[in-house]
Structure 1
Amino acid sequence: MGLTGAVADDQEAELIHSVCEKDIVCGSGILAELSTLVLNTCRDPVTFSDPSLQTAAALSMAKMMLVSSEFCEKNLQLLVSLMERSSLPTLRCNLVIAMGDMSYRFPNVVEPWSAHIYSRLHDPSLLVRRTTVIVLSNLIMNEMVKVKGQISDLALCIVDPEDIIAAMACSFFFELAKKGNALYNVMPDIISRLSSPDLNLPEQKFQLILKHVINLITKERQLESLVEKLCLRFQAAQKERQWRDLAYCLTLMPYTERSLRRLLNNVAMFADKLHEPVVYNSFTTIIANTGKNAKQDIK
């Protein structure tokens, strides 16, 4: 008696999966033989220096990697090296797109390498940066990559010198803010990374980014909690610049009675930083704005 229905479908799917994994670009098939030629071309850009050949070989390798997770895992290091080091913007752009496709096809294989996609947000080529914003936006909005601290690199795109990149980054955060707690959950990491002395981000750019992003958080409970989290971060902040950044973020909050109480309950967290003039001025601004704009019950 033949197999029918779901059982037959499952067996057919398993067979197709096995063939893709072992017999198309791996094993002894024709494409497997061709993959050796493609890989050798990608590994030796000095000998095979023609730009069109290099671009075609890299794209061919990427397409082969989409067939088999085994082949993909084995050659991800090479793909990432080409994506980061090739002098050809079109090649780098193609491989960013390919890594996005692989994140859907083999998410567990590609996930440990996702930081390398974020790194292309700093690519000197406008084409590559633009493509990377599109790819990452798609992956994050469809929950194909975890939203980690590297999202601060997307926040940096808000002050990209190219208007198209800045507009795309603003649009991304606008959409992210609609997804429950997604933006709120990464806000502390964004602030921490952008205020890091290692990044050395100009203060004006920090303020432009955070003014845009914090204004997208509108849920009262999230704002209350964010006020408290920012206050607590003063204890770990070592540099005066970090104090100023945290204080500036607190000035962006629309205070209610509850959020103001959170601030007052945590005065001890930042009291020893008030001798810094900019920090002091930020808190006097909060007091002035609260007195001016708050509801009657706050007064």
Structure 2
Amino acid sequence: MMKKVELLEDSIEFSKVFTRAVPKILDMLDSKTILDIYEAVDLLTTGYIFGVEGMEVGMQKMLLLVNSSEKGKRDSVSNAYKKVFFTTNLTGRARAVKIIQNLLRFIQTIEHGNFPTLECLIKKWVSTDDMDALIIQVLFEMFTMKIEGTTTEESNLALELLVVCSSSKASIASANLNIIVMAGFGERGRRNPRLYAQCLQFMMNSIDHNANPKYYERYDCHSSIVTNVFDMFMKFFFQTLLPEFELVATKTFEFFYTLCQRPHILCQKMVVDLLGDMLKTIKKPTVSSASPPSASQSMSSQPLLPSQKKEDETTKAFLLTRFLYIIGYITSKELIFIDVDVYNSMKHIQELEGCELIEKERSTAEPQQEPDEDLGTSADANIADLIYEIYEEGLVNDKQSLLRVMIKLVLRIIKNPTKFQSEHLQCAAILALVRFMCVSRKFCDSYMQLLIKIFINCNNTSIKSNIIISLSDLTLQYPQEMKAWIGHLYLTLQEENEEIRLIAVKIITKLILQEMIPIQGKMLKLLATCIIDPSVDIKNMTCQFFKELSTKSNILWDILPEIISNLADTDVNTSLPKEKRRTIIEYITELIDEDRQIERLKEKLAMRFRESHTESQRSDIVYCVALLNCKNEEDEEDLSIIYEFH
């Protein structure tokens, strides 16, 4: 008996020691030594299986390694999660239930930002049949609450898993459309807008992209399913207590443009109906319960109290914000629909007509004469020109267009911030304006100056953040036209607000790595200063960017001399202190490790030294050469290269 007690005491003590070691184990996940990472993953996995306190944090951090560029790390983490979720001695249905319970337990604690990474793992398990048909069946039973004791939360989580699984295997959705429709568009969907939105995504996943994603059956505009979705959204639009309106709106219009015939007709009808209902709601007088009107006095004749006026203004801003959001989103979906779906349909028709024409030419051609092979090429060019004309001239520039009318409303709100003071309304208006700009190059040129002016004069963090993201979208759409405005994007790195700087770093580094914006040493200096940013997130993201840039050909050593010169160039901005400049130089120099690059870089630095104008610039260049000499011990005399220009 004493031995059992001692064993239990030792087990408890071991558990406490293990828990205290968790921070060290988490640090091992960031180690540069691959074996340390393997050991940390194994320890965290074993601790989680045995229920050791604090393992949930480690299991979430492990998800970051799923997207690692190193295959060994990815496989190690993938196998660890598979072990955690799928290891059980049970068989048959009991095994399926246990696996689902393991998944749900983990999903309940996962951070929202980590869920997309988990989705990648789940899709992989579906494709390899680790998530087999029996598990899918039990998930459906849990979703429809056929399993006794299933809670509403478990049912919703089961739906989330089914949506993820169906994105990997379309038959999971296509074989169960009736179940999805009954749950999503019935009483449960009306009470739970998020469930309604997820069911819409579930239905969209029924398209088998492995077969022929260009051509598939769509619902008629007047079908009962489409009518039901239309009516439900019209009611959701006016629900004030709807925290996830953007999700509901996004999925609704995605459903229209993905699964419905003539989606533009549906959206036009919805916009017109919403406008009518909004006008009725706004014009409807607000009456204070404290002072009801007399029988002889009409409600419209009563003067509004200040509190009533404020309530009316809040209602107007609330409805306009939602309305502008869907207007902007419809615009972007219409662009994609024309560019992809309409283009594919027109091309398909041209191919059929081309086949008939070629057959006709062959039947009438002379024996040595071949049919014209350029027919297909010219037809494609004609289609592309027609499509371009539609969204360049027809969507936002045609005076008869409904969107053209909406543009006037958007511009009125943006140009009158004192009258329309709601932050959310201004954000929605700017987002709508940018989406209009993405449709038409001509429209973009007309209002780019306005967008930059708003950014410069605005002090609102949310609005400025949205404009930075918008500049990224416009750069992807019109890379050549946006070159003249890239300097404004770089200048956002100097914003005082940390959130704005973080978004700016994310956007700029992504565009540079995608080769969407030119790399200029003078502007890249602003990005280099983020290496010493007080924010850990900004610092880490910038360091990671320069690491990736160092792997791309000779880009880094080619622009390093210009970066170094500009760090102390007062013409660009106030010079950085010497210690901070050297911290930046040390980090970037450390990334250059090829002897050939080092030698050529020294030559460039020597030329830059001769052109330098200040002692600070010369000092930084000499310091950089000294660091390079430390990396290349064979040559210790290279400082003479610089001194000969002194």
- Structure-1-length-normalised TM-score: 0.84
Partner AA of 1:118 in structure 2? Y
Q: Is the 8 A contact 1:59 1:94 kept in 2?
A: yes
Change (3 A) 1:75 1:3: farther
Partner AA of 2:540 in structure 1? A
- Per the alignment, residue 311 of structure 2 pairs with none
Partner AA of 1:188 in structure 2? P
State the SS of the aligned residue for 1:171. helix
- Per the alignment, residue 577 of structure 2 pairs with 202
Q: Does 1:11 align with 2:362?
A: no
Deviation, structure 1 residue 249: 1.2
Q: Is the 8 A contact 2:589 2:627 kept in 1?
A: yes
Larger Cα-atom Rg: 2
Q: Name which of structure 1's ranges 84-93 and 66-75 shifts more when overlaid on structure 2.
A: 84-93
Between the two proteins, the alignment pairs up a number of residues equal to 269
Cα displacement string for residues 163-207 of structure 1 (whole angstroms, at most 9, x for unaligned residues): 110111000000000000111121111011102134321111101
Deviation, structure 1 residue 10: 3.1
Match of 2:586 among 197, 205, 211: 211
- Per the alignment, residue 269 of structure 1 pairs with 645
Q: Is the 8 A contact 1:231 1:266 kept in 2?
A: yes
- Per the alignment, residue 353 of structure 2 pairs with 2
Match of 1:151 among 524, 529, 533: 524
Q: Distance in 1 between matches of 2:498 and 2:387?
A: 40
Q: Distance in 2 between matches of 1:139 and 1:130?
A: 14
- Per the alignment, residue 496 of structure 2 pairs with 124
Q: Distance in 2 between matches of 1:3 and 1:39?
A: 46
Q: Is the 8 A contact 1:120 1:132 kept in 2?
A: yes
Change (3 A) 1:183 1:265: closer
Deviation, structure 1 residue 56: 0.9
State the SS of the aligned residue for 2:506. helix
Deviation, structure 1 residue 233: 2.6
Change (3 A) 1:8 1:237: closer
Q: Is the 8 A contact 1:237 1:243 kept in 2?
A: yes
Partner AA of 2:470 in structure 1? A
- Per the alignment, residue 111 of structure 1 pairs with 483
Deviation, structure 1 residue 6: 4.7
Please list, as runs of the form range in 1=range in 2, the aligned pairs for 1:1-299 lying within 5 A after superposition.
Answer: 2-3=353-354, 5-28=376-399, 29-148=401-520, 149-198=522-571, 199-253=574-628, 254-257=631-634, 260=636, 262-270=638-646
Deviation, structure 1 residue 89: 1.1
Structure 2 stretches of 5 or more lacking a match?
1-351, 356-375
Cα displacement string for residues 84-105 of structure 1 (whole angstroms, at most 9, x for unaligned residues): 3212111111111111111111
Deviation, structure 1 residue 158: 0.5
Cα displacement string for residues 69-97 of structure 1 (whole angstroms, at most 9, x for unaligned residues): 11111111111122232121111111111
Cα displacement string for residues 46-84 of structure 1 (whole angstroms, at most 9, x for unaligned residues): 232221111111111011111111111111111112223
Q: Name which of structure 1's ranges 237-246 and 159-168 shifts more when overlaid on structure 2.
A: 237-246
Q: Distance in 1 between matches of 2:484 and 2:613?
A: 31
Q: Distance in 2 between matches of 1:36 and 1:63?
A: 14
Instruction: Give the % identical residues.
Output: 32
Q: Is the 8 A contact 2:609 2:645 kept in 1?
A: yes
Q: Distance in 2 between matches of 1:261 and 1:221?
A: 17
Q: Distance in 2 between matches of 1:187 and 1:134?
A: 21
Q: Is the 8 A contact 1:227 1:263 kept in 2?
A: no
Of structures 1 and 2, the one scoring higher in RCO (CA 8 A, sep 6+) is 1
Partner AA of 1:267 in structure 2? Y
- Aligned-residue CA RMSD (Å): 1.9
Partner AA of 1:13 in structure 2? A
Cα displacement string for residues 274-294 of structure 1 (whole angstroms, at most 9, x for unaligned residues): xxxxxxxxxxxxxxxxxxxxx
Q: Distance in 2 between matches of 1:178 and 1:143?
A: 14
Deviation, structure 1 residue 236: 2.8
State the SS of the aligned residue for 1:53. helix
Change (3 A) 1:115 1:44: same
Deviation, structure 1 residue 234: 2.7
Q: Distance in 2 between matches of 1:229 and 1:185?
A: 8
Q: Distance in 2 between matches of 1:144 and 1:236?
A: 30
Partner AA of 1:228 in structure 2? E
Partner AA of 1:182 in structure 2? I
Q: Distance in 1 between matches of 2:435 and 2:582?
A: 42
Q: Distance in 2 between matches of 1:104 and 1:235?
A: 39
- Structure-2-length-normalised TM-score: 0.40
State the SS of the aligned residue for 1:234. helix
